[in-house]
Amino acid sequence: MKVKSLMQQYWDKIGADPKANWHIAHIDDDEAFFASGKKDIQKIFNGKLDTLSSGSLVLDIGCGRGRLARALAELRTDVRVVGVDVAPSMIQSAILSNAHIKNASFCVGDGDSLAIFPDEVFDCAYSYIVFQHLPRHVVGQYISEAARVLKPGGKLIFQVQQRDEPMMIDPVWNDFRTIRYYTNEQAVALAQPPLSATKIRGKGHDLFIECQKNS
| Helices assigned H by DSSP within the chain | 3-16, 20-25, 30-44, 67-75, 88-97, 136-149, 184-189
Q: Tell which wins on pLDDT, 30 or 72.
A: 72
Rounded Cα distance, 164 and 169, in Å: 15
Looking at the structure of the chain, the number of domains it has is 1
Say if pTM beats, i.e. exceeds, 0.85. Answer: yes
Q: Tens of pLDDT along 124-147? A: 999 999 999 999 999 999 999 999
Polymer length of the chain: 215
CATH of residue 11's domain is: 3.40.50.150
Of the CA atoms within 13 Å of residue 213, those in its CB half-sphere come to: 22
Contacts of 150 (CB under 8 A, 6+ apart): 120, 122, 123, 124, 125, 156, 213
Band (22; pLDDT cuts 50, 70, 90): confident
Residue 184 · residue 200 · CB < 8 Å: yes
Burial 67-81 (b: 16+ CB within 10 A, else e): bbbbbbbbebeebbb
pLDDT of residue 23: 80
| Helices assigned H by DSSP within 82-206 | 88-97, 136-149, 184-189
C-alpha pair distances (Å), 210 with each of 2, 44, 50, 159:
30, 9, 16, 9
Other C-beta atoms closer than 10 Å to the C-beta of 28 total: 12
Residue 67: which domain range? 3-213
